[in-house]
Amino acid sequence: MKYRSQARAKSTLRAYHGDWKDFQAWCDDHKVDALPASDKVIAQYLDSLASSYKYSTLSRKVAAIAVVHRTAGFDTPVGRITKDTLKGIRRTKGNRQTRKAPLLAEDLAKICDLRSITVQDKALLLVGFAGAFRRAELIGIDWEHIEWFKQGIVITIPRSKTDQEGIGRALEIEKTGNDLCPVAALHAHRAQAGPMGPRGPVFLGALGRRLYSEAVGRIVQRSAKAIGLPWRQYGGHSLRAGYVTQAYEAGMSSFDIRQQTGHRSDQTLEKYVRTKKP
């Protein structure tokens, strides 16, 4: 049995772990069981992700759910409904991933003026934009990862898509002194934790658990819709794309932008630029 644990690459196991955590959070949010899950629930989960993910990624998520069930001693819940849903997604989308529109500073200003915006959503949007975070990085932030300074904050990212060894990197976010200050928004969110101080995940979903990554896209879409934008064109990547696009238009060098985004190459970075300077 000692070789069984080596049957899958460590990177695959890490992806499965993240996939399962997201599925659990989605189930919590929708008040359905994750373990054991039903075939119908998994299909509904796929439907909710279809506009934001490649077919290959969705297939991996289904595989992760099946593996966790078998490991826990349950029969695989992946049945005809899930398989037909995957086939339908593949036929409709192929393997292409829709490039989401960038959410820019002027859009964020309108969103933050909304009376309906929550303190947490405001902090998530502004920090997500200022840090150019990937969704997994954003929802993975714990309060213990944040250092507070007079000029701003430093957020330690323990692991990211391009740092699978977990070396980590520190990302600085400065105070802006205006209504769109991400540090002030995060401080206001922190204050809601009460006199005992916050612990654990910064951004919470249902039942007080860590927000799942797909929920970031829903928050962005809901916010975009509230200010009259074509909300279906927006998603979780809109914050990261918005930062990169805005930075390019402001004349920042690609090297400086990559210091914030964590991209390894200009070629990959440029995929996030939705409009360019003439």
| Percent of the chain residues past pLDDT 90, beyond the cut | 56
Return all residues near 238 (Cβ < 8 A) that are at least 6 apart: 100, 101, 102, 103, 220, 224
The residues that are catalytic are 134, 161, 237, 240, 263, 272
Q: pLDDT-based confidence at 4, cuts 50/70/90?
A: very low
The mean predicted confidence, pLDDT, of the chain is 85
Residue pLDDT, tens place only, 16-30 = 888 898 899 899 989
**pTM, 2 dp:** 0.69
Q: Distance between CA 54 and CA 35 in Å, rounded? A: 25
| Percent of the chain residues past pLDDT 70, beyond the cut | 82
Q: Highest mean pLDDT range out of 101-115, 154-168, 255-269?
A: 101-115
On the question of pLDDT at 71 being above 80, the answer is: yes
Q: pLDDT-based confidence at 265, cuts 50/70/90?
A: low
Averaged pLDDT, 260-267: 71
More confident residue, 149 or 272: 149
DSSP string, 59-120: HHHHHHHHHHHHHTTPPP---HHHHHHHHHHHHHHTT--PPPPP--HHHHHHHHT-TT--HH
Per-residue model confidence (pLDDT) at position 3 = 34
Per-residue model confidence (pLDDT) at position 242 = 94
On the question of pLDDT at 165 being above 70, the answer is: no
Return all residues near 118 (Cβ < 8 A) that are at least 6 apart: none
Q: Which of 17-21, 45-49, 152-156 has the lowest mean pLDDT?
A: 17-21
On the question of pLDDT at 35 being above 90, the answer is: yes
Among 209, 233, 232, smallest CA distance to 23 is for 209
Two tokens at 11? 């990177």
Q: Which of 81-90, 202-211, 265-274 has the lowest mean pLDDT?
A: 265-274
Per-residue model confidence (pLDDT) at position 84 = 95
Residue pLDDT, tens place only, 219-249 = 999 999 999 999 989 999 999 999 999 988 8
Per-residue model confidence (pLDDT) at position 167 = 60
On the question of pLDDT at 208 being above 70, the answer is: yes
Two tokens at 228? 């009259």
On the question of pLDDT at 108 being above 90, the answer is: yes
Do 54 and 96 contact (CB within 8 A), yes or no?
Answer: yes
Q: Highest mean pLDDT range out of 20-24, 101-105, 132-136, 210-214?
A: 101-105
| Burial bucket for residue 50 (CB in 10 Å: 0-12, 13-18, 19+) | middle
